Amino acid sequence: MRSILFHIGPVPIRSYGLMIIVGFGLALWRATRVSRRREIAPERVMDAALVGLVAGIVGARVLFLLLEVPLAGWGVFAQVHRIWEGGLSFHGGLAAAVAAVAIYTRAKKIRFLSMADLMAPSLAIGYAFARIGCFLNGCCYGFETHLPWALRFYDPAFHQWTNPSHPAQLYAFAANLAIFGILTRIERLNRPPGFTFFSYLVLYSVYRFGIEFVREGATAFVWFAGLTHAQVASLVVIVVFGLTLAMLNRKPRGPRKAS
Question: DSSP letters of 5-30?
Answer: EEEETTEEEEHHHHHHHHHHHHHHHH
Is residue 258 a part of any domain in this protein? no
- Mean pLDDT in residue range 155-160: 74
- For residue 138, pLDDT over 70 is answered with yes
The pLDDT-based confidence of 115 (bands split at 50, 70, 90) is very high
Is residue 259 a part of any domain in this protein? no
Q: What's the domain count of the chain? A: 1
What local confidence, expressed as pLDDT, does residue 88 receive? 79
What local confidence, expressed as pLDDT, does residue 126 receive? 96
CA 103 to chain CA mean position, Å: 20
Q: Which of 4-8, 76-80, 111-115, 148-152 has the lowest mean pLDDT?
A: 76-80
Is residue 239 a part of any domain in this protein? yes
Is residue 224 a part of any domain in this protein? yes
Most confident of the following: 45-49, 83-87, 88-92: 45-49
Is residue 256 a part of any domain in this protein? no
Is residue 257 a part of any domain in this protein? no
Q: Largest alpha-carbon pair distance within the chain?
A: 60
Most confident of the following: 3-7, 50-54, 76-80: 50-54
The pLDDT-based confidence of 259 (bands split at 50, 70, 90) is very low
Kindly tell me the burial class for residue 170, based on how many C-beta atoms sit within 10 Å of its own C-beta (0-12, 13-18, 19 or more). Answer: middle
- Answer yes or no: are the C-beta atoms of 88 and 16 closer than 8 Å: no
pLDDT digit string (tens) for 212-242?
999 998 888 898 889 999 999 999 999 999 9
The pLDDT-based confidence of 157 (bands split at 50, 70, 90) is low
- For residue 87, pLDDT over 80 is answered with no
Domain span including residue 82: 4-249
Decide the pairing of beta strands 154-155 and 160-161.
antiparallel
pLDDT digit string (tens) for 194-207?
999 999 999 999 99
- For residue 174, pLDDT over 70 is answered with yes
pTM: 0.90
- Mean pLDDT in residue range 112-119: 96
Is residue 255 a part of any domain in this protein? no
Is residue 19 a part of any domain in this protein? yes
